[in-house]
Amino acid sequence: MAALVPCPDGTDPPRVIGVGASAGGLEAVGTLLAGLPASLPAAVLVVIHQSEAGPGRLAELLDRRSPLPVRAACDGAPVVAGDVHVAVPGHHLLLERRTLRVARGPRENGYRPAVDPLFRSLALEVGPAALGVVLSGMLDDGAAGLLEIVRHGGAAAVQDPDEAAFVAMPTAALRQVPGAAVAPAARLAETLVALLARPAVGVARTSERLAGEVGVALGHREGWSEPFREAVGLSCPDCSGPLYEADEPLLLRYRCRIGHAWSQESLRAGQAVAAERALETALRALEEKAALHHRIGRNAEARGSSRLADRARETAHDALASAAVVRDLLSSPRDGEAW
């Protein structure tokens, strides 16, 4: 196999570990970082799903457990072996030309930061020098990006689903990359050290498709439609725009014109949230309609117009009956899960 294609300055691309986690993942990330050696020959980039309005203290919390310096990601910072950078609220974390990019591109899988954009940028920028790690979390963010890392010659590791606080993200990652190394969080550090001991060999391939998707996460408009070409009659839960399906037979993914991206499980969850919002709006409108017609009925009765009062009370009764149906829908679980 050919040696890794060097960077324009003649040196090899830096080894970079991308770590993605969601629910239950903070503890797993802390355990992973605690086991890494201070002489780690790779940079570590971490994305943990968090509220865009969050305080942004994840780097501070993780720094207490890590022998490596942990910092909140800063746009334009160089990627240096032994440094750990953590995505900040409301921004994707990506790699571009050996530097960090902190960008407010469109949300992916309902999150910003999201794991897939980081992994795709590692696949594009350093290819065989990239390692992707998926830890505890709900739904399937990270699975598509981990597949891109492996497609471009990199390595993959996944937290053992049997010991993850939430199994969905590790399980989804293993469906896409069944050959990934699997270990409990406490042993993932030694797994990564062993993977780093192997030479990063292979040809760092360029990909217009992948470059387009990374560009969208960076906030560029061009390239969003490659390979998303087929309108599928579904709406984006974020913006209600039409969704387009990726031309990937084994992996269902969608984007809208704004650039919001969805995996199949994340889209299902996003649709459930959107449906709940719509039902809540309908419930409020029906109850307000009932309240208004009760007032109309009382006013009509006070004026001696019994016919108008009866019609108003009948309309209010019908609105409350419809509201009860909507309320039952809101309180009923869907597909084994609560709203």
Q: Which residues are part of the catalytic machinery?
A: 22, 49, 141
Segment holding 59, helix H or strand E: helix 58-63
Report the phi/psi class of residue 245: left, alpha or beta, with left for phi > 0 and alpha for psi in -120 to 50.
Answer: beta
Q: Give the pair of three-digit tokens for residue 109.
A: 């899988």
Longest dimension (CA), the chain: 94
Segment holding 79, helix H or strand E: none
Cα 11-14-19 angle, rounded to 5 deg: 170
Residues in the chain: 339
Work out the number of other CB atoms within 10 angstroms of the CB of residue 332.
9
- DSSP code of residue 241: P
- DSSP three-state, residue 183: strand
Contact status, residue 71 vs residue 85, Cβ threshold 8 Å? yes
- DSSP three-state, residue 256: strand
Contact status, residue 136 vs residue 21, Cβ threshold 8 Å? yes
Work out the number of other CB atoms within 10 angstroms of the CB of residue 115.
37
Q: Quote the CA–CA distance of 278 and 284 in Å, as a whole number.
A: 10
Torsion of CA 121, 174, 182, 211, to 10 degrees: -10
